[in-house]
Structure 1
């Protein structure tokens, strides 16, 4: 394998950029500057998400007064805390542990007074972890809806519109339950555009959408809803807490880190290795394979014509793409992007790439993503793998794992969404 301008291989540089992106979004680094002042009354900590336990630990380490609370995180993402209870539950499809934890969180904020402070620690994954079925719904109904949404091809923002109107805690309802206490929500964004309402389906912020919007999305994506869920939406009883609600008058929201922060950290690593970084966007959406094909077209133009960027360079992007499951493979939006990129490049020299989820989990796999090199397709054919067939079967994880090119980080304790880096070397001898 060739070496980069700094002497390391493209593969090593790509992994160094990914690691830097994850490190830049660690709660221990980004949470302390956003802590509110101590209240005259009690301090209650609540939260949900893949980063919530690490956020709780960072809060404990930097809080100079008494506090108590409970947060729920994904299985395997717990971090030891002394005063804040950490509960683990299932993601991306909710389970009974998440339901029980959510009930206990709601109980924690009942009966608070105006001198009390609630600090809500919210990050990606909270939509599944913070589960409280709406009126007439069961946990089984919520599980069925979540599974259907994940298969539908809807964007994360669209999925969350439906989730908010089938919940007893999302869409500002948790914030309303904290009234009249002061509420400060600290958010780690994992959504395109960093809209607070879309992070964990917005349990502590007002929701401008309506049941009718959720029904329109259900129709657009032909999502099969349990009868009780459809009835709740059609009746209008699933309406969420709207902007201007007086119960949210003392609620504040602060985004403490976001995808752009991670991309800028990766860009700094690229510069140090002699590559010019270009951040193409921190909120790219759409079908994973279509974005892969589009990125391949850009990379080919760079290699063949030196446009629109001179080499050596790295094309960085973030956001959350979509996989519409049509095959029987193991899915994963980052590996689907990468496999589509590889198929479209067809072994084009000088182009390497890494795509991974900063939370360490791409789709339902305990694999963050994968690496692509100019010889990936050649090695695949030699191993008896058919790249196009694997792509058609939505089996990016199976493809890259068979080649030994999976990227496994373990729990990263943060989540600022997907990370994509396309590294393009300069011409030989340049």
Structure 2
């Protein structure tokens, strides 16, 4: 079927709230390229929203999935466990920077499920109920994670009251007038005005905000949160769903700050395209809840666990972190060239290749220009490049191409961005 035929089916049968506005349909892909149902080739700077750090269909990940399919597809881990689940748990506990002498892990299907269960674990471990998150944070689309998500449109519209016990503090965004000191004072005000520290089970923070705009938590900010949690018996949950598995030049973004989480959530590039997520934390907290209190029918499926084990091996064996660092340097250099050249490109930022810049009306007012951001992504698409915007104001342009992207494809894609910026005037 071609794009037009598939679009007709989508309009008739796919719920409006779940339907993509894109009228191209992916047919096949390889590393940083996707071909649609009409045969048009696109360079992929989105990576399924940070899912494909190792690229589309990495051979070793594909091989691991195929091998697992020949053995076992499903039993439900809680009914009859299988090797890939416990082997993945061992790998995650070895690499995740969490507190305590020992770590333990459990698997789920998506990032939102990981966050939901991280909160459950923190509540069980602390005997407390409340949760503090941050403006601009994105943690998922279930009702609990929507309450935790600090961005209204399009996620919270139309869905009524959110679960209680969730409070929000400012996230440091110096470019938009929120300093680290402002953020910490705001957190202190949450304790004074909304919920006392003794009732807070967890503080949940992204080391680099994803959907919220690729704003990077300063090391000193994460270190301050670590101390606040230690001083008050609060669990520190670090959400690495989008920033994990080599996206920032290290396995996890929090490693740049030398801060360990009590509980860490991960998903997206964990299995390079297979649906899986995990919660990893210190063993005492992870073991706080009772038997069968965590899990789900498909949680940690054999094929997804096999893919995740293979993805971790690839990261370790193929110098992915070094490639990530080099890619980040290239993006940083190019972004600052554009910032100097174009009057409306500003606030270039990156932690490794988790990189973005903002489009603004002008650099003096720093007024966000979401309309121009939309025009840029549209122009890029017309020229054969998949590019995403992000941020509270929708004016951030984020880059999530595979770390494994070939140099010539990277240059071709960046040239499309540059040409599109120039055409915007």
Bigger Rg, structure 1 or 2: 1
Q: Which has the higher contact order (CA 8 A, sep 6+)?
A: 2
